[in-house]
Amino acid sequence: MAAQKIKTAILISGRGSNMMALVEAAQLETYPAEIVGVISNRPGAAGLEKAQALNVPTAIIDHKDYETRESFEQALHKQLISVNAELVCCAGFMRVLTPWFVSNWKGRLLNIHPSLLPKYKGLKTHQRAIEAGDTETGCSVHWVTEDLDAGAVILQDSVQIMPDDTADLLAARLLPVELSLYPQALSKVASQMQTMLNP
């Protein structure tokens, strides 16, 4: 009997191209994860419609509806439980998560970050790489831990920085690399989980 696919939820805040890459990869019969839901903290996130068009269940948990970060995260947590998520992929999810949330999902929470971590944690990664005179940058899929963008890297890939690059040009050149890397990283993690659950 084929191993059970690992139920995976995706957190987004915007465009959703990484989310779509994961959804499309998971349509393959042999992919070890299935996408059980997409949750956005922004009601207007373009990714929501893209997910709906592929019949992926979506939910909006708008952080502005909650007085505290903790109450927002409790609602997020409840939604993840309600779709039976075993793994959670942050994909352009632009909220910093508290230690409470992270500890609840430790070892089951991934993120994609547009830099070669440990370089350039946080925001404006491309601008900072250009200003530093770096000749390459990249993206990292990593485990989420209590410290921002500091968890162990699962997979990383790089692109060259050209002399005339702007942050926008660099982001556009990196995007296809991200869209290839994240599905590979989720596949790796979900396969490992399948082996652990069914040795």
Residues binding ligand GAR (CB under 6 A): 12, 14-18, 47, 91-92, 112-114, 139, 178
Q: Which residue is nearest to ligand GAR (CB)?
A: 92
> What's the min distance (Å) between Cβ of 47 and ligand GAR?
6
- Which residues in 135-173 are b (16+ Cβ under 10 Å) and which e? eebbbbbbbbbeeebebeebbbbebebeeebebeebbeb
What is the smallest separation between the CB atom of 12 and ligand GAR, expressed in angstroms? 6
Q: How far is the CB of 142 from ligand GAR (least distance, A)?
A: 11
Compare residues 180 and 194 and give the one whose CB is closer to ligand GAR: 180
Q: How far is CA 114 from the centre of its chain?
A: 11
Task: Identify which of 92, 100, 56, 55 has the alpha carbon closest to the alpha carbon of residue 76.
Answer: 100
Using the minimum distance from each CB to ligand GAR, give the nearer residue, 47 or 183. 47
- Tally of residues, the chain: 199
Instruction: Determine which one of 77, 113, 126, 142 is catalytic.
Output: 113
12 or 33: whose CB is closer to ligand GAR?
12
Complete DSSP assignment for 89-106: EESS---PPPHHHHHHTT
Please give the structure tokens belonging to residue 83. 């779709």
Q: Quick check: is 113 catalytic?
A: yes
Which residues are catalytically annotated? 113
